[in-house]
Amino acid sequence: DKILVGPTLTFSGNPMTAPWQEVVRIDTEGAVLLQGNRIAKVDKAVILLDRYPEAEAISYRADHLICPGFVDAHAHYPQTAIIASWGKRLIDWLNDYTFPEEMRLQNPDYARIIADRYLDLTLAHGTTTVTSYCTIHPHSVDALFEAAARRNQRIVAGKTCMDRNAPEGLRDTAQSAYDDSKALIDRWHGKGRATYAITPRFSPTSTPEQLSALGALWAENPDCLMQTHLSEQTDEIAWVRSLYPEARDYLDTYEAHGLIGDRALYGHAIHLEPREIDRIAECGAALVHCPTSNTFIGSGLFDMAGLRARGIPIGLATDTGGGSSFSMLRTMAAAYEIGQLRDTPLHAAELMWLATAGSARTLHLEDRIGSLAEGLEADLVVLDLASTPAIAQRAGEAKDHWEMVFATIMMGDDRAVRDVWINGERAGERSEAKDAI
Ligand code: GUN
Ligand code: ZN
Mean pLDDT for all residues in the chain: 97
Q: What percentage of the chain has pLDDT greater than the value 70?
A: 98
Ligand nearest to the CA of 237: 1
Whether 239 lines ligand 1, by a CB cut-off of 6 Å, is: no
CA distance 312 to 278: 10
Q: Is the per-residue pLDDT at 437 higher than 60?
A: no
CA distance 25 to 10: 5
Q: Is the per-residue pLDDT at 435 higher than 70?
A: no
CA distance 161 to 150: 26
Using pLDDT thresholds of 50, 70 and 90, give the confidence band for residue 421: very high
Higher pLDDT, 430 or 421: 421
Question: Domain limits of the chain?
Answer: 2-68+371-429, 70-362
CA distance 357 to 371: 6
The pLDDT assigned to 222 comes to 98
CA of 322 to the centre of ligand 1 (A): 7
Q: Is the per-residue pLDDT at 370 higher than 90?
A: yes
- 85, with CB counted inside 10 A (0-12, 13-18, 19+), is middle
Whether 101 lines ligand 1, by a CB cut-off of 6 Å, is: no
Contact between residue 326 and residue 318 where contact means Cβ atoms under 8 Å apart:
yes
E strands in 274-379: 286-289, 314-316
For the domain made up of 2-68+371-429, the CATH class stated in words is mainly beta
Whether 327 lines ligand 1, by a CB cut-off of 6 Å, is: no
Q: What percentage of the chain has pLDDT greater than the value 90?
A: 98
| pLDDT, tens only, 47-96 | 999 999 999 999 999 999 999 999 999 999 999 999 999 999 999 999 99
Give the number of C-alpha atoms closer than 13 A to the C-alpha of residue 263, restricted to the C-beta side: 18
The pLDDT assigned to 431 comes to 42
Give 309's contacts (C-beta < 8 A, 6+ positions apart).
none
For the domain made up of 70-362, the CATH class stated in words is alpha beta
Give strand pairing partners of 371: none
| Phi, psi (deg, nearest 5) at residue 310 | -85, 0
The pLDDT assigned to 433 comes to 46
Whether 76 lines ligand 1, by a CB cut-off of 6 Å, is: yes
Whether 289 lines ligand 1, by a CB cut-off of 6 Å, is: no
Question: What pairing do the DSSP bridges indicate for beta strands 286-289 and 314-316?
Answer: parallel
The pLDDT assigned to 362 comes to 98
Q: Give the residue-averaged pLDDT of 5-18.
A: 98
| pLDDT, tens only, 120-163 | 999 999 999 999 999 999 999 999 999 999 999 999 999 999 99
Which residue's CA is the nearest one to ligand 1's atom 1?
229
- 334, with CB counted inside 10 A (0-12, 13-18, 19+), is buried
Give 59's contacts (C-beta < 8 A, 6+ positions apart).
5, 6
Question: What pairing do the DSSP bridges indicate for beta strands 425-426 and 417-422?
Answer: antiparallel
CA distance 316 to 289: 5
Using pLDDT thresholds of 50, 70 and 90, give the confidence band for residue 432: very low
Whether 202 lines ligand 1, by a CB cut-off of 6 Å, is: yes
Q: Is the per-residue pLDDT at 373 higher than 50?
A: yes
CA distance 424 to 409: 25
The pLDDT assigned to 436 comes to 46
The pLDDT assigned to 430 comes to 41
Radius of gyration of the chain (CA): 21
Query: For residue 309, what are the CA distances in angstroms to 88, 238, 306, 312?
Result: 33, 28, 5, 8
The pLDDT assigned to 428 comes to 78
Mutation probe of ligand 1 site: the residue of 72, 103, 132, 202 with most atoms within 8 A of C-beta: 202
